[in-house]
Amino acid sequence: MERGVRGGTPFIKKGKKMYKELTELVEKSNKIVFFGGAGVSTESGVPDFRSADGLYSMKFEHPPEVMLSKTFFKKHPEKFYDFYRTKMLYEKIEPNVTHHTLAKLEDAGKLTAIVTQNIDGLHQKAGSKNVLELHGSVLRNYCVTCNQQYNMEAIKTEGVPRCECGGIIRPDVVLFEESLNSYILDLAVNHVQESDLLIVGGTSLVVYPAASLVSLCKGKVIIINNSETSYDYQADLVVRGGIGEAFNAINTLVNFLN
Ligand code: ZN
């Protein structure tokens, strides 16, 4: 099986053959890294931030990329928190088959890291340990003045949540206009470089640094997505379909291995 980038044509298969190929690659690999986007969480009921039916198409005073920006947070923390509490905190969400299967793969010693663009903490809830959250987590918050750490309960108050020292508490999430945590990004790069299989799922690969991670992998690359991505040609296998469906197939394999 030649990688598309050399062969020129993406390796797209369908139906049973596609899932057979998928599970065979997973079975053969022992240093798997999973890179996941919003699509992983939409099957748990978390709206996709960037899709057409996600937050961007909702009607607000300003678009989300403004209301969730660093500038807006500084100028209008109260409005920021109104928006953030209503639209970004999802409480009754549970991990789905993708989260659970990834946790099992880590337990089985086949997966070294999960790199995620999601901020909902569902991978940890499913039992995964090495989760690299590129955009932070809604479960963590901190005081901008003294750096005191707070859980999610602390920001569920009315208005702008304040620390004991008087400072404003902010979510430990990467806001628009802010750059990714370089320490987390370095860890992700290292894991991907050492991986023998990179599975990319639930992302159209348009958001930095997803694309650059794909080209760093020296092993096999699988892209699972409902629609075409501009990196399909770099993949050894493209699974065109829902990520939950693909992970159902992997789950059957993992249960068998255990
Ligand atoms: Zn403080």
170 C-alpha to ligand 1 centroid (Å): 11
Q: How far apart are CA 249 and CA 133, in angstroms?
A: 25
Q: Say yes or no to pLDDT of 219 above 70.
A: yes
Span 72-82, pLDDT tens digits: 999 999 999 99
Catalytic residue among 99, 123, 135, 191: 135
Domains along the sequence of the chain with CATH: 1-46+95-135+179-258 (3.40.50.1220)
Q: Per DSSP, which regions of the chain are E strands?
A: 12-13, 32-36, 111-116, 131-133, 136-143, 149-150, 169-173, 197-201, 220-225, 237-240
Q: How many angstroms separate the alpha carbon of residue 171 from the centre of ligand 1?
A: 13
- CA-wise closest residue to 137 among 148, 125, 147, 146: 125
Tell me the helices (H) and strands (E) count for the chain, helix number first: 11, 10
Residue 135 known to be catalytic: yes
How confident is the model over 114-169, as pLDDT tens digits? Answer: 999 999 999 999 999 999 999 999 999 999 999 999 999 999 989 999 999 999 99
Establish whether the linkage from the previous residue to 209 is cis, with ω within 30° of 0.
Answer: yes
Closest CA to 197 of 5, 14, 27, 6: 27
pTM over 0.75: yes
Residue 121 Cα to ligand 1 middle (Å): 24
CA angle 122, 101, 131 (to 5 degrees): 45
Give, as one character, the DSSP assignment of residue 228: -
Q: In angstroms, what is the span from residue 162 Cα to ligand 1's centroid?
A: 8
